[in-house]
Chains A and B, each alone.
Chain A
Amino acid sequence: MTTKLMIGLDGHDSADRALDYGKQLAKLIGNCELLVLYVIEWSPYSFQTIEENAERHKRREEEITTATIRIVEPAVQKLSAAGVHARGMVRHGDVADTLNRVSEEENAYQIIVNRSSKGGIAKRLFGSSTANLVMSASVPVTVVG
């Protein structure tokens, strides 16, 4: 049976560490698929103008295309070049919730994320996505520092 590991990307260069760690694990496991997921932060409860609403579908498609080309595809290519079986995905939503939900849908064995790069007041007020994920995830989470 193929073991699935999910890697959450945050769009920063530092995410390379999570990718490297996932690659190592996959090689050790052998029969392993890496799911590379990038979540576009999105809340259904934000306030929007009418024009934003009318163009929303178009913007969503654009956001997915951009994220796929700039973030997910390069990561998947890098993993494939190293001989690891990898698949990329882009989703909208709350980062922690979405990582957790997709990991359940895909039956992932583990989630690998990078240490949060957010700091200061925002982190104190809202907590980081990484901390939220660790607290709410239903599968083991590895935070790569």
Chain B
Amino acid sequence: MTTTIKRALITLVALLPFSLTAVAQDAMTLDQKVNESFAQITGPFVNLIFAPLPGTSFPWIVMWLVVAATIFTVYFGFVQFRYFGHAISLVKGDYSDPNDAGEVSHFQALTTALSGTVGLGNIAGVAVAVGIGGPGATFWMILAGLLGMASKFTECTLGVKYRNEYDDGTVSGGPMYYMSKGFKELGLPGGKILAVLFSIFCILGALGGGNMFQANQAHAQISGIVGDYPGWITGIVFALIVYMVIVGGVKSIARVTEKVVPFMGIMYVAAALIILLVNYDKIGWAFGQIFGGAFTGLGVAGGFVGALIQGFKRAAFSNEAGVGSAAIAHSAVKTKEPITEGFVSLLEPLIDTVVICTMTALVITISGQLIVDPNTNVYLLNDAGTAISTVGDTSGVALTSAAFGSSISWFPYVLAVAVVLFAFSTMISWSYYGLKAWTYLFGEGKTTELIFKIIFCIFIVIGAAASLGPVIDFSDAAIFAMAVVNITGLYCLMKVVKNELNAYGNRLAMGEFKKFQH
């Protein structure tokens, strides 16, 4: 960990003097240098996380996430379906006491957590999944989203239950708190160790998926429109703005983003719906591709297992169920019943993955950007055989952009703005998650917090300069490493949630919770 940071710091320090005078050509080689050393440093960690199950090509980590989500779904008796209506009532504020007005509402906790997850995962991640795994990956993504609702429910209930409330009225919560406090309460050993491990991975995840991946894709998007230029320039601009917000305390920027991002999300879904409506005759065919591809692979890289792996992987990366990040975001809500926050949070994977990701996948499938072999009717692979060939050889955000652009010519510009804003809001959210993990490890204090924030900003520059491959590998690995620790903790604490669920269910049935007139 510290050596990674040290090396990254050295790389950056080496970069800075050049950056002032560098011409574009020199900068390209610098980008490559950053890229190379980054891939080298992170390689072993990535390989460990994505190691296949013995004798198969199936990464054990994907199995880990799916098995956990399935166990939680069964253990809590399909809570995501039984309490779905109740979750909607809670978000609407039906059960909110008007005398508590002014505290964080369920709606606010949900939208804040959503703005941390809805973003590039939905736009770029889905394109990566569909580009490699074919439309069939969407089926597995939806399934992972539905199952993931139960994981999210479990972690967010615990997040609120075991959060820390300080004398000054502020709160801190998340997996590190429920692991240390919850394990102690149950008399289980190892809670503290898990909490420390989680915090370390959370910091890596914040720097990876929550930062470098975002910076990288934002740069790809901007350079796609204004023409190619060195990544570190975007990185420095982004780093400065983020620095202004998280260190300088320029809250107006964060506030504006928080207000614009939801509208961008709504606009994105609206555009997707319009494209689907215009091409309504192809929707049936697209679903045919999704279901057909889910089990046969339709000739994509890795066949049906490839589709499955990609679907599950990108779903987890997008909705973060089981990762533990949402537990940090949701723990701020003031509620007498921790479990109500769990109910509310289970809507997140639904909105994020089942609705928004599916929209992206349908638009890409319908757009015809994925090239089909006219003779065999299966997808053509690119020369390397690693992904489906696309019109114009695009992948990631560029593929989504091209798919939307084929129906609405000006939409790529809107999408570019959306991507930059999504990237920015995700970075702000993750800087908070990372900071909470950091202060858990090193204690709260102005100097320790400042050190993390500066490291965070430096990684934005590295992320923008490196190429997508190593960045996405490291981002995935770090976020999944969080899930390894978090889910271990959830298994040990799930009976606490079960007790809460049973008690709450009985009281709800007896009419103990009244709806308020608003």
Contact = CB atoms under 8 A, between A and B. Distances in A.
B98 A54 contact: no
B169 A53 contact: no
Given A57-B170, A60-B103, A98 B98 contact: yes
A18 to B, nearest CB: 23
A40 interface: yes
A48 interface: yes
Interface stretch (A77-85, A89-97, A111-119): A89-97
Given A47-B112, A93-B101, A61 B169 contact: yes
Interface stretch (B128-136, B210-218, B328-336, B506-514): B328-336
A53 B102 CA distance: 11
A48 B169 contact: no
Given A46-B108, A58-B169, A53 B255 contact: no
Contact of A57 (B101, B171, B255): B171
Interface string B388-422: 00000000000000000000000000000000000
A50 B432 contact: yes
A139 to B, nearest CB: 16
A54 B168 contact: no
A48 B104 contact: yes
A53 B333 contact: yes
A51 interface: yes
B46 to A, nearest CB: 28
Interface residues of B, number: 37
Contacts of A60: 102-103
A49 B112 contact: yes
Given A49-B255, A50-B329, A92 B101 contact: yes
B466 interface: no
B164 to A, nearest CB: 11
User: Size class of A's contact patch?
Assistant: 20 to 34
B254 interface: yes
Given A47-B108, A53-B108, A54-B171, A42 B259 contact: no
Given A49-B255, A50-B432, A91-B101, A44 B170 contact: no
A106 interface: no
Considering residues B111, B112, B259, which has the most beta carbons from chain A within 10 angstroms of its beta carbon? B112
Contacts of B104: 48, 53, 56-57
A91 B103 CA distance: 11
B116 interface: yes
Contact of B169 (A57, A91, A98, A101): A57
Given A55-B170, A58-B169, A50 B101 contact: no
A49 B258 contact: yes
A47 B108 CA distance: 6
Interface string A40-77: 10101111111101111110110110000000000000
B172 interface: yes
B172 A54 contact: yes
Contacts of B261: 47
A49 B425 CA distance: 9
Contacts of B255: 49
Given A44-B101, A92-B102, A54 B170 contact: yes
B334 A49 contact: no
A49 B169 contact: no
16 contacts: A45-B107, A47-B108, A47-B115, A48-B111, A48-B112, A49-B112, A49-B254, A49-B255, A49-B258, A53-B108, A56-B332, A57-B104, A64-B102, A91-B99, A97-B518, A98-B98
Interface of A: 40, 42, 44-51, 53-58, 60-61, 63-64, 91-93, 97-98, 101
